[in-house]
Amino acid sequence: MSNTIAFSDSNFSDEVLSSAKPVLVDFWAEWCGPCRKIGPVVEELASEYDGKAVIGKVNVDDNPEISVKYGIRSIPALLIFKNGEVVDQIIGAVPKAVLKKQLDAQL
Protein backbone atom coordinates (compact mmCIF):
# COMPACT_ATOMS: atom_id res chain seq x y z
CA MET A 1 0.00 0.00 0.00
CA SER A 2 1.26 3.43 -0.92
CA ASN A 3 1.67 6.24 1.58
CA THR A 4 1.98 8.84 -1.17
CA ILE A 5 -0.87 11.27 -1.66
CA ALA A 6 -2.14 12.15 -5.12
CA PHE A 7 -2.03 15.94 -5.09
CA SER A 8 -4.18 17.79 -7.62
CA ASP A 9 -5.14 21.29 -8.63
CA SER A 10 -8.19 20.95 -6.36
CA ASN A 11 -6.55 19.60 -3.17
CA PHE A 12 -3.07 21.19 -3.38
CA SER A 13 -3.84 24.13 -1.10
CA ASP A 14 -5.35 21.96 1.65
CA GLU A 15 -2.87 19.08 1.44
CA VAL A 16 0.38 20.96 0.75
CA LEU A 17 0.16 24.65 1.53
CA SER A 18 -1.79 24.17 4.78
CA SER A 19 0.26 21.21 6.04
CA ALA A 20 1.86 21.53 9.48
CA LYS A 21 4.57 19.09 8.34
CA PRO A 22 7.14 19.47 5.56
CA VAL A 23 5.79 18.24 2.21
CA LEU A 24 7.74 16.62 -0.64
CA VAL A 25 5.89 16.97 -3.94
CA ASP A 26 6.98 14.88 -6.93
CA PHE A 27 5.88 16.44 -10.24
CA TRP A 28 5.77 13.61 -12.79
CA ALA A 29 4.04 12.14 -15.86
CA GLU A 30 3.31 8.61 -17.12
CA TRP A 31 5.43 9.07 -20.26
CA CYS A 32 8.52 10.29 -18.36
CA GLY A 33 11.24 7.63 -18.05
CA PRO A 34 13.21 9.32 -15.25
CA CYS A 35 9.91 9.84 -13.39
CA ARG A 36 9.27 6.09 -13.47
CA LYS A 37 12.82 5.55 -12.20
CA ILE A 38 12.43 7.85 -9.18
CA GLY A 39 8.81 6.86 -8.45
CA PRO A 40 9.67 3.80 -6.30
CA VAL A 41 12.16 5.91 -4.32
CA VAL A 42 9.43 8.46 -3.57
CA GLU A 43 7.16 5.59 -2.46
CA GLU A 44 9.88 4.29 -0.09
CA LEU A 45 10.36 7.76 1.38
CA ALA A 46 6.61 8.06 1.95
CA SER A 47 6.75 4.94 4.13
CA GLU A 48 9.96 5.94 5.91
CA TYR A 49 8.76 9.46 6.71
CA ASP A 50 5.18 8.50 7.62
CA GLY A 51 4.14 10.77 10.50
CA LYS A 52 7.15 13.10 10.02
CA ALA A 53 6.51 14.51 6.54
CA VAL A 54 3.83 14.41 3.86
CA ILE A 55 4.91 12.94 0.53
CA GLY A 56 2.89 12.94 -2.64
CA LYS A 57 2.81 13.29 -6.40
CA VAL A 58 1.33 15.66 -8.95
CA ASN A 59 0.67 14.31 -12.44
CA VAL A 60 1.59 17.34 -14.58
CA ASP A 61 -0.64 16.22 -17.46
CA ASP A 62 -3.72 16.05 -15.23
CA ASN A 63 -2.95 19.13 -13.10
CA PRO A 64 -1.63 21.94 -15.29
CA GLU A 65 -2.56 24.79 -12.89
CA ILE A 66 -0.17 23.69 -10.13
CA SER A 67 2.58 22.86 -12.61
CA VAL A 68 2.38 26.32 -14.18
CA LYS A 69 2.11 28.09 -10.81
CA TYR A 70 5.40 26.55 -9.66
CA GLY A 71 7.18 26.91 -13.00
CA ILE A 72 7.61 23.21 -13.63
CA ARG A 73 9.34 22.94 -17.01
CA SER A 74 11.33 19.78 -16.52
CA ILE A 75 10.28 16.55 -14.80
CA PRO A 76 10.79 14.86 -12.50
CA ALA A 77 10.82 17.96 -10.35
CA LEU A 78 10.58 17.56 -6.60
CA LEU A 79 9.68 20.55 -4.46
CA ILE A 80 9.86 20.61 -0.68
CA PHE A 81 7.33 22.88 1.00
CA LYS A 82 7.42 24.10 4.59
CA ASN A 83 4.78 26.41 6.05
CA GLY A 84 3.23 26.79 2.59
CA GLU A 85 6.45 27.96 0.93
CA VAL A 86 8.90 26.21 -1.40
CA VAL A 87 12.10 25.73 0.62
CA ASP A 88 13.99 23.36 -1.66
CA GLN A 89 13.89 21.97 -5.19
CA ILE A 90 15.39 18.91 -6.87
CA ILE A 91 15.29 18.48 -10.64
CA GLY A 92 15.83 15.10 -12.26
CA ALA A 93 16.18 11.54 -10.99
CA VAL A 94 18.61 11.77 -8.08
CA PRO A 95 19.75 9.10 -5.61
CA LYS A 96 17.57 8.40 -2.59
CA ALA A 97 20.32 9.71 -0.27
CA VAL A 98 20.06 13.15 -1.89
CA LEU A 99 16.31 13.30 -1.34
CA LYS A 100 16.66 12.11 2.26
CA LYS A 101 19.33 14.71 3.02
CA GLN A 102 17.22 17.56 1.65
CA LEU A 103 14.05 16.33 3.36
CA ASP A 104 15.87 15.80 6.68
CA ALA A 105 17.07 19.40 6.55
CA GLN A 106 13.42 20.52 6.79
CA LEU A 107 12.36 18.30 9.69
Nearest to 6 by CA among 55, 40, 51, 39: 55
Which residue of the set 23, 32, 45, 80 is catalytic? 32
32 included as an active-site residue: yes
Which residue of the set 5, 35, 58, 99 is catalytic? 35
73 included as an active-site residue: no
| Secondary structure of residue 20 in the 3-state scheme | coil
Spatial distance between the Cα atoms of 64 and 55, rounded to a whole number of angstroms: 19
Spatial distance between the Cα atoms of 71 and 65, rounded to a whole number of angstroms: 10
Kindly give the residue spans of alpha helices, DSSP state H, lying in 13-92: 33-48, 64-69
Q: Which residues are identified as catalytic?
A: 32, 35
